[in-house]
């Protein structure tokens, strides 16, 4: 029974790339037993399949997954590339921190990509340039890799591409930040649909409608996923939130009270680090906002 990788799922079909790189994609249906077990094959799944007489196939077995994302639905991704534009729309650090919480919870590595650097050059915007530098320093100090890019000038494009080698990566971020433009810049001839930015709303139309793996020549696969304008915390417990802030983890173990919420308890090492300037005020502020949001949702449900 041959092995392959699901690179696209659409209208009940799974498009499997055989392990033999020279072979064409095989259009497959999933076995009925998956439905009975409540299991759905996902893009990124490594599977065993049986070819059928009509040139199609049947997915028979899903091999063990290393990671699984619920939204976007994708398996075995190792790296999340989070794209946030420096202009049009303006950089939104609260949304970036929300994405980082979800990525930490999912167990993926994160690469922060600050896009559209060419728009800063056009406007000679010194204030935005300073914010860009400070943002890069802030997240690098926490332990994240940050790359500043422009799909127009080519800045950072090869740096991003080299990080994707040999892995399945997820491209995500607010709508209209240039995901498709960056992928087009990395793969000339790809011609993914891009969208104009609505200046009234400050966001683009959703141009990506299903999850599909795009193959790079360096052995990597990129999932170009639907854009998000918001995320919720339904899959995350409020007691798990602080562990999704990297700079809180070691400090939390030293708090006076076990299970410290880092909001009001005495002897809290996280708040002490905040007062000493060792934790960025914006990060703590977003932690408090997310904590309230999660408590509010818990009350409603």
264 is in an annotated binding site: no
Angle at 192 between CA 190 and CA 198, to 5 degrees: 150
Buried b (16+ CB within 10 A) or exposed e, 151-185: bbeebbbeebbebbeebbbbbbbbbbbbbbbbbbb
262 is in an annotated binding site: yes
- Residue 44 marked in a binding site: no
Longest dimension (CA), the chain: 70
255 annotated to a ligand binding site: yes
176 marked as binding residue: yes
Residue 275 burial (CB count, 10 A): 8
Task: Tell me whether residue 180 is annotated as binding.
Answer: yes
Whether 298 has a binding-site annotation, put simply, is no
Q: Does the annotation list 178 as a binding residue?
A: yes
Q: Is 36 annotated as a binding residue?
A: no
Query: Is 222 labelled a binding residue?
Result: no
User: Strands 168-173 and 221-224, how do they pair?
Assistant: parallel
Query: Annotated binding residue at 174?
Result: yes
Is residue 113 marked as binding? no
115 is in an annotated binding site: yes
118 is in an annotated binding site: yes
CB 261 within 8 A of CB 239: no
Q: How far apart are CA 216 and CA 233, in angstroms?
A: 32
How many Cβ atoms are within 10 Å of 150's Cβ, its own excluded?
22
| Residue 243 labelled as part of a binding site | no
Q: Which residues are annotated as a binding site for Zn(2+)?
A: 255, 260, 262, 268
Q: Which residues are annotated as a binding site for GTP?
A: 115-118, 173-181
Q: Which residues are annotated as a binding site?
A: 115-118, 173-181, 255, 260, 262, 268
């Amino acid at each position: 029974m041959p092995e392959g990788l699901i690179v696209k799922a659409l209208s009940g079909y799974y498009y499997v790339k055989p392990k033999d790189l020279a072979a064409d994609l095989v259009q497959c249906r999933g076995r009925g037993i998956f439905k009975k077990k409540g299991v759905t094959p996902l893009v990124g799944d490594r599977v065993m399949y049986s070819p059928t007489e009509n040139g199609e196939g049947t997915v028979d077995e899903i091999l063990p997954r290393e990671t699984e994302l619920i939204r976007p639905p994708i398996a075995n991704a190792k790296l999340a590339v989070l794209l946030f534009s420096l202009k049009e729309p303006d950089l939104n650090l609260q949304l970036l921190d929300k994405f980082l919480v979800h990525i930490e919870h999912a167990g993926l590595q994160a690469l922060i990509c600050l896009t559209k650097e060419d728009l800063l050059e056009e406007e000679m915007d010194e204030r935005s340039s300073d914010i860009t530098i400070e943002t890069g320093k802030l997240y690098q100090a926490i332990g994240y890799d940050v790359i500043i890019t422009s799909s127009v000038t080519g800045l950072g494009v090869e740096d991003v591409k080299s990080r994707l080698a040999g892995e399945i990566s997820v491209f995500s971020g607010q709508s209209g930040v240039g995901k498709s433009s960056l992928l087009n810049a990395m793969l000339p001839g790809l011609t993914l649909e891009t969208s104009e930015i609505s200046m009234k709303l400050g966001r683009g139309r959703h141009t990506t409608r299903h999850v599909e793996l795009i193959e790079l020549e360096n052995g990597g696969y990129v999932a170009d996923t639907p854009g998000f304008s918001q995320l919720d915390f339904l899959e995350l417990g409020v007691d798990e939130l602080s562990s999704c802030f990297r700079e809180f983890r070691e400090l939390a173990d030293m708090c006076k009270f076990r299970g410290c919420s880092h909001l009001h308890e005495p002897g809290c090492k996280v708040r002490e680090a905040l007062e000493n300037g060792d934790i960025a005020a914006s990060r703590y502020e977003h932690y408090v906002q997310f904590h309230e949001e999660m408590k509010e949702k818990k009350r409603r449900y």
